[in-house]
Amino acid sequence: MEVLVAQKAGFCYGVKRALSLAYEALKEGQEPLYSLGPLIHNPQVVKDLEGNGLKIIEDMSQIKKGALVIRSHGAPASVFTEAQNKKINILDATCPTVKKVQEYAEFLREEGYQVIIIGDKEHPEVKVIEEYAGKNSIVIRDKTEISQHIIQERIGVVAQTTQPGANFLSALSELLKIAKEIKVFNTLCTSTEARYKESVELARKVDVMLVIGGRASANTAHLTHLCRQEQPHTFQIEAADDIEIPWLDGKKTIGITAGASTPYWLIEDIREKLLSKFDGQ
């Protein structure tokens, strides 16, 4: 059996930066460190952070003193204001690419555009972008949802950073048919798009494709969907124990890719267990 691993699998720059800031603060240990929600969407890494002292909270009322690390998905302005009012130190680990989307959304709102956000309405990144975009903004998952909303004549368009480029362009083409004036910012993450492209190419070459990542990870879900379009035998897993032996029966090549919140040690652990279990055949 041959196991092929995508070169771009694993941590992206934004995740590496967020983890570096968090672990450095935890190592210094000068004050309690909190995260409003999981810092990243990977259960193994979150568990390790908690083991090192990070306290995950769901509401700002749960923190009285200490420091707050803003997760890579960002946070609304109200969180920064409340932290400052409580004299809570802030470590802003918002992904720089995500922060640009927030800035664009706020700019479009101030310029009087109705902001259209292409993405998953329930995703933390999108919820924050909505706050910057204002009450008049609309979130659509894809072009099929456009007809469910009232689209104004002047619109501004941004996207969740992990959206596949094809979905972004498809929705944009439909919006162009409706609006009289449209201003678009390409807010797609280039490293994520490169990961999608490489993973799809790998999926075409193998008998089975494994996508490693947290079940709450949007980019991992997109990776799984895109790979499955090319290789029906595509499965999303969080750990080696998730692999079911029937998936691999009679298969000679296995491809592995991973979401942006997946640590390399986990990718390597799964690769080694695959080779060990099947004696490298």
The 8-class DSSP code of residue 162 comes to T
* Helix axes 13-28 and 96-110, enclosed angle (nearest 10): 110
State the chain's maximal CA–CA distance in angstroms. Answer: 63
Q: If DSSP codes are grouped into helix, strand and coil, which group holds residue 150? A: coil
Question: What value does the CA radius of gyration of the chain take, rounded to a whole number of Å?
Answer: 20
Q: What is the dihedral of CA 18, 19, 20, 24, to 10 degrees?
A: 110
Distance CA 16, CA 33 (A): 18
Amino acid found at 154: R
CB 256 within 8 A of CB 210: yes
Distance CA 61, CA 36 (A): 11
Residue with tokens 């690419």: 97
Amino acid found at 24: E
Q: If DSSP codes are grouped into helix, strand and coil, which group holds residue 163? A: coil
Residue 213 token pair: 């990542």
> Pick the catalytic residue: 125, 130, 131, 238?
125
* 103 tagged catalytic: no
Distance CA 13, CA 200 (A): 21
Task: Give catalytic residue positions.
Answer: 125
